[in-house]
Every structure is written in structure tokens, then in C-alpha cells.
Amino acid sequence: MIIFRRIICLLLAMLDIYLYPNTNKHFFINKANIELHVNACEEYQEITGFGASACWWSQNCGNSEYADEVAQKLYSKDGLALNVYRYNIGAGEKDNPNSRIGRWRATESFYYLNEETGEYEYDFSRDAAAQNMLDKCLALGCIDTVVLFANSPHFSMTVSGQASGGLEDYVSNLPPENYEAYADYFLTITRYFLDKGVPVKYISPVNEPQWSWGGGWVSQEGCHYEKDELIELYRVFARKIKASGLDVKLSGPESGQLGWLNDEYFADMYKDPEIREVLGNFSYHSYWIDGNLKIKSDFGDLVTREYSDMEIIMSEWCELPCTHAIDDFEGAMIMAKTIYSDIVESNANSWSAWVGVNDYGINAEGKKISDGLLVANQSFTELSTAMRYYALKHYSRFIPDGSVRIGVSNAIKDGYGNWDAGTYQQYLYYSAYKTPEGKYVIVAINEGEDRKLSINIPHVVTKMKVVTSTAEEQFKTVVDGCIKRYIDMPQNSIITVVLD
């Protein structure tokens, strides 16, 4: 029966080609006909996954009525199927009487002051809601990588006595005499999670070291490091990791932006033998350069030339400044293009959204704006889905860990069958992947006019699935079965094609 069905699909596909050849003028009048040519022999980087940070929201969501729904939407096979979970090791600002951080972003630490003894101790029953959220997500079976990351050392270790940065701009808040204490603290927490069976692969003790983090205005936990301070702290962590015997690698430097100091961080970390021995990947954030393909392309060239043996992680991104309402599909288009550019131009192996969920503000038009994939109020009594959620879903649901990015190029014809290599290219973004199961996945983002898409692949495929998102309908399956010669690609749409 299966063989018979495949024969029928092939015959229908051949009939489709006969009835609608790509030079049919009246069928394509005033439309661009896009042919994508997939080359599976042209292999690029392995894709190791997609994820999100649980920073702040998990401690508010973990014991709420929406905890299970959030877990399903983010980490189940029916949701985003994310496999990377970034757990925030909070610096304890919720316990700090001198904190300058608001309720949503203030964190509870495992490390706390025992008022009876006057000593700091560990209590791993703390941060219970965030731990509960992690457990719910792990139980769904998609997560294979947990990253423990911190925005700041514990507030008790800092110069200012706060985890929101120093009292002066661009001054490190962690004194060198506390480097070892910080590493011991981080690895004690890491051991706890590993002993619980949590698949912690990487620890990341530094976040966006080039930013000021402190001074007269603060909004979250953070700590500035000069370049020499950063390298010395990583050396301390490297020694401690090796001495501990823990099966984890260092991830860093979580640079806040490509370009500014990022390349210098990478170079200094890579050439240091102590750091290099425990360095699992280079991580960067893709903020502020959403549309700057040159910076990303230059970085990708650097990675290929100098760091081909290193995994490259885009570990944080959200739209900054966040101006699009959560129901504005343009927000999804921007995220889809950012994922494309980080994977294709920067050669990232893994891509994570800044936060899975965030609270919201109200813009001048009275609409909700938020940088989360999902959006909640601070008390977690309401929950909604932002349009950008679907942009990530077009990648994460179909490109599993172990997939390889492969070659794909286009040939564009206008409505009269004439080749036009440039007119439409600036509005079209596409990438192709081969999954471990041997499926071929193409993700296309169309900012141009309505088009017809055809895919040329030199391999036998008998089944096709096409999922499309537009402002009107999100993640709609429009083809599921036999091969279609032409696929509708509406204006301002995201499309995923799976060939098997």
C-alpha cells in the first residue's frame, strides 16, 4: 500500500509539471517564479538546537496555573520542541535589602544568609518555582542541553553589595579576591543539578561583559569586566572545573553585540591554554544588528577562518528596541530574518531566544509590547502568544539537533519566464537543512509580492509538507502528502517545506 501511494504521488507530481511548466505566462502573470536548487553535497555547520532562557519568568510561572501550558508551548513536540534550556543562576537580589531591582527581575538564590548563624549557606529547596518549571519542561522529553548562566555573581561577593552592577559606570563589581569564591559557588550549584540528573552541558558565569552594568541607573543583575579581568576570571573557572571533575564545559563570553570587543574576547579566550581546555563553545548575543548582514557575514568568515573547531552559540536575542505589538506579524518577520542571518551569515550552530516568556508594556496605540515568545502579566494570571513565537517554530519544530545546513541557491523568473537575478532577491531569505532522519527542510521568508515557489532537489522524495505563517493565519499546514510542483508563497510570509 505504501509503495502504491508513493507511485501515485510521483505520477501526480509529474502531471503537475506537465500542466504548469515554469514558463506558463498566464499562470505567472505579474508574479515572480522562484526556483530553489538544493545541494545536499554542499554541507556547512551542524545544528545543535534551539532554545530560550528561563530568566525571571520561570520564578514567577513555575507554580502558577499556566506552568504546564507554558512548558507544552515551549518544550513539547507539539510546541516549539526546544532542546536547549537556559537556567538562570540568580544572584539573590530578592534577598538583598539594598536591591535596586524591581520584583519581576529580582532573583532568589540558593546561597543565602542564615540569620541564626550569621553565615552564608546553601539551601537547594530555594528558587522552587524556577526548579519546578525546569522539571516540567524536562519531563516532556525534548531537552538534551541545559546551560546554567549568571548575569552577576551573588550580591554578597560584589564591591557594591548589589548584583545590579558597580556604583560607577564601566567598573567591575567583582573584586579579584572573590574570583575563587565565585567559581566555587557556581560549581557547587552545578554539582547539585548534575546530581539531580539534569543534563547540564555548559556553565556560563559572565553575561555581556562590555556593558557598564551599574552607575546611577540599573534595571537587572549584571557585572562589567575589562578584558584582562574577564580572561583571569575564566582561568580561575577553568582550574576549578578541572579540579572538580565535573563533566561540564565553559561557555562564553556571552558578548552583548557582535563587533564591539567580541572578536577580541574570542581571540584571547581561544589562545589561552587553560581556558581552551575546558571551553565548550563561543557564545554571543545578536542584539542591535538585526539588519546588518555585513557584520554577521564578517563574523561568519572569522569563525570559518579561525575557529572552525569551535561550536558557535547565539545565546540571546530579542528585538531591541521592542516596538512591535505582540499581535503585529512584522515582529515575527524580524525574528525569522534574525535567525536566518545568525545561522547562514554567522554560522551559528545553536540559536536561543532571550526569554521564553516576559511581561509587557503598553505602547502609544494602547497595544501590548513584549520581547517574549509568550507574554504574561507579572502575577501570571493571564497568558498570550506573541507573533514571533511562530517565527521560531518554523525552524525549531523541523530542524532537530544533529541536522546539517546544506547548500541552496535560487533561480528567479518573472511573470514572462525571464530570468531576474536581483529584483526579488533582496526580499527573499532562505536556508536548507538535512535532518538526521534524511529529510530535507527549507525555510523561506518572503518580504516581496505573492510568489510561486518550486524546489529542485537531486534526490528521490515522495512526500511534502508545507507550513505557512502570515498575519492572517499562523503555522497553517497547506500541503501534507504528495509533492507539489509549485507552492504558494504569500507576501510577508514565513514558509517551511519538508521533503521526505
Q: What is the CATH number of the domain that holds 61?
A: 3.20.20.80
Cross-strand bridge partners of residue 488: 452
Regarding whether 226 and 198 lie in a shared domain, the answer is yes
Regarding whether 337 and 480 lie in a shared domain, the answer is no
Regarding whether 493 and 383 lie in a shared domain, the answer is no
Range(s) of the domain holding residue 467: 2-45+404-499
Q: What is the pTM of this model?
A: 0.91
pLDDT of residue 217: 86
Could you tell me the sign of the dihedral formed by the alpha carbons of 317, 320, 323, 329, in that order? negative
Regarding whether 99 and 78 lie in a shared domain, the answer is yes
Contact present, 497 and 442 (Cβ < 8 Å) = yes
Separation CA 425–CA 445 (nearest Å): 11
Count the domains in the chain.
2
pLDDT of residue 291: 77
Regarding whether 490 and 348 lie in a shared domain, the answer is no
pLDDT of residue 23: 29
Regarding whether 432 and 315 lie in a shared domain, the answer is no
CATH code assigned at 452: 2.60.40.1180
Domain boundary among 359, 376, 403: 403
Report the chain's C-alpha Rg in angstroms: 24
Beta strands in 273-389 (DSSP E): 279-285, 311-316, 350-355, 357-358, 361-362, 368-369, 374-376, 383-385
Regarding whether 305 and 414 lie in a shared domain, the answer is no
Return per-residue pLDDT of the chain as tens, 500 residues.
Answer: 444 444 444 443 443 333 333 322 222 223 567 889 999 999 999 999 999 999 999 999 999 999 999 999 999 999 999 999 999 999 999 999 999 998 889 999 999 999 999 999 999 999 999 999 999 999 999 999 999 999 999 999 999 999 999 999 999 999 999 999 999 999 999 999 999 999 999 999 999 999 999 888 898 999 999 999 999 999 999 999 999 999 999 999 999 999 878 999 999 999 999 999 999 999 999 999 887 889 999 999 999 999 999 999 999 999 999 989 999 999 999 999 999 999 999 999 999 999 999 999 999 899 999 999 999 999 999 999 999 999 999 999 999 999 999 999 986 544 433 334 343 345 889 999 999 999 999 999 999 889 899 999 988 899 999 999 999 999 999 999 999 999 999 999 999 999 99
pLDDT of residue 448: 86
Beta strands in 309-439 (DSSP E): 311-316, 350-355, 357-358, 361-362, 368-369, 374-376, 383-385, 403-413, 428-434
Cell numbers at 293, concatenated: 548582514
Regarding whether 380 and 418 lie in a shared domain, the answer is no
Domain boundary among 379, 403, 427: 403
Closest CA to 128 of 209, 224, 64: 64
pLDDT of residue 38: 96
Contact present, 189 and 147 (Cβ < 8 Å) = no
User: What is the DSSP-derived secondary structure letter of residue 226?
Assistant: -
For helices 227-244 and 262-271, what crossing angle results, to 10°?
Answer: 40
Could you tell me the sign of the dihedral formed by the alpha carbons of 335, 339, 345, 348, in that order? positive
Contact present, 61 and 125 (Cβ < 8 Å) = no
Separation CA 155–CA 153 (nearest Å): 6
Separation CA 26–CA 15 (nearest Å): 18
Contact present, 444 and 36 (Cβ < 8 Å) = yes
Separation CA 154–CA 167 (nearest Å): 16
Other beta carbons within 10 Å of 409 = 13
pLDDT of residue 462: 94
Regarding whether 387 and 257 lie in a shared domain, the answer is yes
Domain boundary among 378, 403, 428: 403
Could you tell me the sign of the dihedral formed by the alpha carbons of 260, 263, 268, 272, in that order? positive
User: Looking up cell 536575542, which residue turns up?
Assistant: 317
pLDDT of residue 17: 34
288 torsion bin: left (phi>0), alpha (psi -120 to 50), beta (else) = left
Regarding whether 455 and 393 lie in a shared domain, the answer is no
7 torsion bin: left (phi>0), alpha (psi -120 to 50), beta (else) = alpha
Regarding whether 425 and 328 lie in a shared domain, the answer is no
Q: Which helix (H) or strand (E) holds 112?
A: strand 111-114
Q: What is the dihedral of CA 361, 332, 202, 200, to 10 degrees?
A: 80
Regarding whether 363 and 409 lie in a shared domain, the answer is no
Q: Which residues contact 111 (CB under 8 A, 6 or more apart)?
A: 92, 120, 121, 122, 154, 156, 185, 189
